[in-house]
Amino acid sequence: MPTRKNHYLYQSKIDLAKKILGVKTETEALDGALDLLIYGEALALGTEAMAGEEYHDVLGIAGEIPDDHAGA
């Protein structure tokens, strides 16, 4: 359930988040930015958990990635 909060934030960061996320309100921008942060953490933890596991190229495209983009 959403709760009302008051914070001191840089307006430029809010404006940029609105632009990047394509939303109209500051609330949508902050909520979307927090969603991305939480999702990114979940991806990082999942990647860390898979360290050392065998890789399965389920899409069959691993050989199509140029070497200069590996690890990017």
pLDDT of residue 66: 65
Domain boundaries, the chain: 8-50
pTM of the model: 0.66
Residue 51: predicted pLDDT: 83
- Reading the chain (72 residues) residue by residue, the pLDDT tens digits are 889 999 999 999 999 999 999 999 999 999 999 999 999 999 999 888 888 878 777 887 777 766 665 555
CA 12 to CA 39: how far, in whole Å? 23
Helix (H, G, I), strand (E, B) or coil at 59: coil
What are 41's two structure tokens?
């953490």
For residue 29, the model assigns a pLDDT of 98
d(CA 41, CA 33): 12
Q: Are 11 and 18 spatial neighbours (Cβ–Cβ below 8 Å)?
A: no
Whole-number pLDDT of residue 10 = 97
